[in-house]
Amino acid sequence: MNVHTGTHLDAPYHFIPQGKTIDEISLDAFIGRARIINLTGIAARTGIGPEHLGDLTRVQKGDIVLCCTGWARKRSHSAEYCHDWPWMTKEGADLLIAKGVKGVGTDGLSMGGWYEGTGLPCHKALLGAGLWIVEELLFPEELLKYESCTFTAVPLNLRGFGGSPTRAFATVE
């Protein structure tokens, strides 16, 4: 199994040769308050930029930002699902970095989009800033009623790897 299959984490080393590997990141970094951004109306092949992220005044340093595009509900082996997911632009990534978040998640196959050429800009920005990324999340419909939750996505202890499968879950109070 590839470590970037299904719901999984990307560590900085995934794109940054000198970045931390999955086992070099403290487990508590993968647990924390998450802000949920509901983007379920966004179109396929759309770059998620600052204009989509909305008012981030409630996002605080050390938070996790979870972007729900609704893409996971389209799970299939269709060409659209496998190639056309909404993705984070470098500008969107830069905004989240400036807010001081520690991790970012999406329900798409990747945080990056191959339509802008490489999928690299947001990965290099986020991972280069020391953040982690969780991809291929499945957001339960009831979770979208909340603006925040406690999010947990602890990886396997894979030494020297740039990613890991994870069982991600949210709890709300």
Task: Kindly report, residue by residue over 105-163, the tens digit of the pLDDT.
Answer: 999 999 998 766 667 899 999 999 999 999 999 999 999 999 999 999 999 999 999 99
How large is the average pLDDT for residues 16-43? 97
Which of the four pLDDT bands, split at 50, 70 and 90, describes residue 1? Answer: confident
How many angstroms from the chain centroid is the CA of residue 81?
17
Tell me the CA distances in angstroms from 21 to 4, 102, 115, 164, one per residue in order: 13, 15, 27, 10
Q: Write the DSSP symbol of residue 43.
A: P
Token pair 């998450």 in the structure block, residue:
34
Residue 11 has pLDDT above 90, yes or no: yes
Span 34-92, pLDDT tens digits: 999 999 999 999 999 999 998 899 999 999 999 999 988 876 778 888 888 999 999 99
pLDDT of residue 51: 96
Q: What is the model's pLDDT at position 75?
A: 66
**What pLDDT does residue 81 have?**
85
What pLDDT score was predicted for residue 24? 98
Full-model pTM: 0.95
For the chain, give the mean pLDDT: 93
Res. 172: pLDDT tops 80? yes
End-to-end CA distance of the chain: 35
Give me 60's structure tokens. 């605080």
Query: Is the confidence at residue 165, as pLDDT, over 70?
Result: yes
Pairing of strands 31-38, 64-68: parallel
Widest CA span in the chain: 41
Q: What is the pLDDT of residue 77?
A: 73
pLDDT tens by residue, 77-105: 788 888 889 999 999 999 999 999 999 99
- CA distance linking residue 167 with residue 152, whole number of Å: 8
Would you state the pLDDT for residue 17? 96
- Dist. CA 73–CA 131, nearest whole Å: 26
